[in-house]
Amino acid sequence: MRISIAQMNTCTGDLDRTAGRIVEQSRAAEAQGSRLLVCPVPVLTGPDPGGLSESEEYFLDLSRTLDRLAREAACPLVVPIVVDMGEGITFEAVLVRDGKVVPLRLASYLSALSRSEAEESDEDPYEGPVEFEHEGVSFGVAFDYAALDDFSHGAGDVDVIIYLPFYCYNTDDEASALGPSVADGCFLRDAADANAWIVCAGPVGGYDERVFTGGSFVLAPWGEVAALAPSFEEALLGCDVDPVSEGPLAEPVQMASYQRSRHLWDALVLATRDFVGKQGLPGVVVGLDGTLASSVVAALAVDALGPTRVHGLVLPCPDDASAADARTLAHDLRMDVREAQGAGPLASALDGASLDQDLRADLASALLALRAREVGGIVLSSEDKTASALDPSRPCARVAAFAPLGDVYRTDVATIARMRNAVSPVIPRGSLDRLRLPSGLGLEDIPGTPESRLNELDALLLLHVERGMGLSSIVEERANPEVAAAVLERVCAGELRRRSSGVPRPIVSDCTLSERAWPIALAWHDRVRPDWHASAGGEQDLRAGIEAFMRQVVDEGSPAERPEAAHDPADLMAFLHDFAQGGGLRSDSQDLWGQGLFSDN
């Protein structure tokens, strides 16, 4: 059977135009002999329509769009949709075939429900695999890694797994790059263990703060790539899938290894291009001050939009070398540029030597806003994740509408800047060497170069933000206790400034600072605890006590004795934390330890 993938970049809710494009893709696929066309998750509804999913009018238009596809598509389709069924976001895939629309997840659930009732099974039918038959081939549908693992562990016996990932690109997760990650071994075990072909429909494009990088692929069970779509662009990928073949392929695709810095750069370029383009904006304004971050944002913007749509404003710089680097950058990028000096009373006030740093930043923001109004565009912020975490906590006036580097640590900013210069040296050497470190954290007492200190600082932030570690755990990773304490205190104190800013930024990490939010008014302070891991004893007793208590909750007809509270409260709280993260307290299951701290896995 020939299967095609429509790797499309669309705008959320542009239902009529997108439906027309899907029909066109179906005709092209049918002309190539395809018997099924698969679309990626965001194609119709975006990855998360938010409150829009509660609109009855929107849902009605979505239904009419699916009806149109059923009438006009030239070949059968699998089209994912994201809806809110009253209990949060649900990812569904509809099969459009023979003039009918079948929601596959719902159909699989109803089928499993009828079987469980007939067999008097206690299994949750909604947790079962999503499967369907098409022209004698059995298909499974997976939306995430967990569902892929289920098929790998025998949850369903299928010939082909249609993989519809809904997560965006993440620099901490190579597999989120999809196709390029296969060369490094990603997805190979899934295909082999499931003994099934994997047809991965990779989304491409920027959807608000999420960016998807494409890379759709078809993977044979024995580990050869049968077809691969390019990253960062649209494509119609067709491939012959033979469920009875045992390989090898006549012409397998030769894969190049995943390059993290290059992929990150291209992802940020794509995110910037779509954020501006999908809103119909004519251009952007970038403040130039010779710093590394401002130079990288300017280069990103030019790569995304072209030099004629990027307008630079050279701001007052701390020294002549920084100003010279800012002008050199603008010249080498061939972008439109103006000088802030002499641009009116605001610029004159900005030249005042007595201004403090916050007021200077406010005046610079006002000048950028005026320039953006002139060109009809938006201001791009040069703030990176390190600055967002550690800049002074007082709220400042901010006019930026998008921060391309807002979820990228400064260490990675330097890395992608060097990578970009390897293509063409547009970022001045002085800007590359100008690695500003936040003051007042004790970083100057750490031995090494400014770059090594920056690496240690960003590693500390990553442990705290992405890995969720507290001060004691971070110090155990051999971090400087005084520096670690100062950094965590600064991060916590900056919550008001971050929330008052609220500038959209591409999500490219495991956890953004918005996701790891702290209360704005917080009196609690973390500290190093010498007895953090003093004893691991009593774990089995704790398990027995909690298990006895849970059995009492589950078994309403058994007045079991309440277990004695003989355990350290700190151990109990730690257990409850891990148990909740592992799946929560579920009293509707007989397997109390299927997930969480005491899992048998």
Share of the chain above pLDDT 90, in %: 63
State the average pLDDT over residues 517-531. Answer: 86
pLDDT at 590: 42
* DSSP-H helix ranges across 306-434: 320-333, 345-350, 357-375, 385-390, 410-423, 429-433
pLDDT at 313: 94
Task: Tell me the pLDDT tens digit for each residue of 169-185.
Answer: 999 999 999 999 999 99
Between residues 528 and 182, the one the model is more confident about: 182
pLDDT at 94: 94
Q: What is the pTM of this model?
A: 0.87
Q: Which two tokens stand for residue 19?
A: 């439906």
The answer to whether residue 585 scores a pLDDT higher than 60 is: no
**Beta 378-380 vs 130-134: how paired, if at all?**
unpaired
State the average pLDDT over residues 200-223. Answer: 97
**Burial of residue 159, with CB atoms counted within 10 A of its CB: 0-12 exposed, 13-18 middle, 19 or more buried:** buried
Task: Tell me the pLDDT tens digit for each residue of 556-583.
Answer: 545 444 444 444 555 545 555 555 444 4
Q: How far apart are CA 147 and CA 198, in angstroms?
A: 12
The gap between the terminal CA atoms of the chain, to the nearest Å, is: 38
If you compute the radius of gyration of the chain from its CA atoms, what whole number of angstroms results? Answer: 27
State the average pLDDT over residues 249-261. Answer: 93
Q: How far apart are CA 27 and CA 6, in angstroms?
A: 11
Tokens 């050869």 belong to residue: 224
* DSSP-H helix ranges across 153-259: 179-182, 188-194
Q: How far apart are CA 533 and CA 520, in angstroms?
A: 30
Confidence of residue 124 (pLDDT cuts 50, 70, 90): low
**Beta 310-314 vs 77-84: how paired, if at all?**
unpaired
* DSSP SS3 for 228: strand
Between residues 220 and 352, the one the model is more confident about: 220
Tokens 């610079």 belong to residue: 364
Contact call for residues 362 and 397 (beta carbons, < 8 A): yes
Portions of the chain given CATH number 3.60.110.10: 2-258
Q: Which of 551, 586, 12 is nearest to 278 (CA)?
A: 12
C-alpha distances out from residue 278 to 13, 95, 224, 404, Å: 12, 28, 37, 16
| Superfamily of domain covering 2-258 | Carbon-nitrogen hydrolase (3.60.110.10)
* DSSP-H helix ranges across 38-158: 56-72, 104-119, 145-152
Confidence of residue 535 (pLDDT cuts 50, 70, 90): very low
Largest distance between two CA atoms of the chain? 83
pLDDT at 601: 33
Q: Is the dihedral of CA 142, 143, 148, 153 positive or negative?
A: negative
Q: Which of 332, 321, 311, 324 is nearest to 421 (CA)?
A: 332
Task: Tell me the pLDDT tens digit for each residue of 402-426.
Answer: 999 999 999 999 999 999 999 999 9
pLDDT at 529: 83
Portions of the chain given CATH number 3.40.50.620: 259-436+498-509
* CATH architecture entry for 259-436+498-509: 3-Layer(aba) Sandwich (3.40)
Element (H, E) at 570: helix 569-581
Q: Which two tokens stand for residue 311?
A: 């307008």
- Mean pLDDT, the chain, as a whole number? 86
Task: Tell me the pLDDT tens digit for each residue of 20-66.
Answer: 999 999 999 999 999 999 999 999 999 988 778 778 898 899 999 99
* DSSP-H helix ranges across 385-424: 385-390, 410-423
Amino acid at 277: G
Between residues 381 and 570, the one the model is more confident about: 381
